[in-house]
Amino acid sequence: MRSIITLLALLLGGTIASAEQVGASTPDNGVSMYIQAQTVNQVIDKAMHWLGENPASVSNELMEVVEEIMFFYALYSSPAYEAERPYFLREITARHKVIKAYLAETGDAQQHLKGDWAALTYPPLVYILAELGLETDVYRGVLDELITLKRHLTPPSNAMRLWIAIYLARLDLVHDSSVQYLLNNSSLQKDPETHVLLDYFTDHAVANRDQNATIQLVYNITHEIIALNDFGALSPPPVMLAQRAHYAHLVDAAIDWATRESALDVLAELVFCAHLLDLKELPALPAAVALIISKQQPNGSFGITNPDRSNGERHGVLTSLLALKTLGANRRTVYMR
């Protein structure tokens, strides 16, 4: 619980600093920003309290702990939190030890190979741990099996395959040509010429016709953006910079649709993606942030934002926190005790 409270203090520094800086030169805007900052701070406070009161458990769902590692890695990778990186590294290391102990005791790693769970989880997990200098030998057998089964290649139109191939390539376990092959078949890569995705989200009647399919499409978009930018650890690749205007229109249209439909889980991921692509100017962002704030429950969570996931409530808290922490630009350095 102490570590969660400490993280809360780190997260709160940014929005207050932004308010003070704006207020120094433009009093009216400064008051508005200060009020907004206080609101965001209160939401973060309650959400972090929920995480502290509901700790992740590998015995309940291994993905709970893995996603928290990804959450801390996204914070670790943000230049705004550079001073706090040692703290985030300790949090990641602690969760890594829990996963290793669990796998050594139960041998559960192999059972996840039956579906996409391991294919989506282990490559980025191992890459994150390797990047931070942590031991990853315990996962090598699982990765070798994934490669043998070619889980990173088929079908090429599935954005999840791109996610898997990117991290396997970064680990030097598959050739970069696998990533290029998938990029050539990805909807995001083709869409600057066809504008099919953009038309889809701007035509709300079409997007609403099959909401589940639309939500899956949004998840495909967010997974491609997050993987290509490595949770913010990497700058957007050249293809994204060259097509920035298209991405801006696409993400803004998707945010607008998700806001109208109150699809909080994908909405929070989209707001985080807007931050990764430095798209602060998107017209749909203010309403999206307001909706995320309004959906917070009295207990600090945001409800079960994705009923298809066993950890739908926890995932909603983590993604919402990532969406809100992007408001902490120009933050004042907070020194850890």
Domain boundaries, the chain: 187-295
pLDDT, position 156: 62
Q: Give the pLDDT band (50/70/90) at residue 14.
A: very low
Please choose, from the candidates 249, 289, 294, 250, the residue with its C-alpha nearest in 3D space to the C-alpha of residue 271: 289
Of 25-34, 136-145, 278-287, which range is least confident? 25-34
Place of tokens 């308010």: 19
d(CA 243, CA 220): 18
Of 12-21, 27-36, 136-145, which range is least confident? 12-21
User: Hey, is 132 helix, strand or coil?
Assistant: coil
| Structure-block tokens of residue 97 | 């030890």
Q: Give the pLDDT band (50/70/90) at residue 333.
A: very low
Q: Look at residue 331 and tell me whether its pLDDT is greater than 60.
A: no
Is-contact 83 334, C-beta < 8 A? yes
| Structure-block tokens of residue 30 | 């400064």
Q: Going by C-beta distance under 8 Å and a sequence separation of 6 or more, which residues neighbour residue 6?
A: 87, 336, 337
Q: Look at residue 231 and tell me whether its pLDDT is greater than 70.
A: yes
Average pLDDT of the chain is 81
Q: Residue 28: how many CB atoms within 10 A of its CB?
A: 9
61-117 pLDDT tens trace: 778 899 999 999 999 998 878 888 999 999 999 999 998 888 888 766 666 555 666
105-137 pLDDT tens trace: 876 666 655 566 667 788 999 999 999 999 998
127-175 pLDDT tens trace: 999 999 999 988 888 888 888 878 777 766 677 788 888 899 899 998 8
Burial (Cβ within 10 Å: 0-12, 13-18, ≥19) of residue 329? middle
Nearest-Å Rg of the Cα atoms of the chain is 20
pLDDT, position 109: 60
In this structure, the chain runs to a length of 337
Q: Going by C-beta distance under 8 Å and a sequence separation of 6 or more, which residues neighbour residue 167?
A: 123, 124, 126, 127, 227
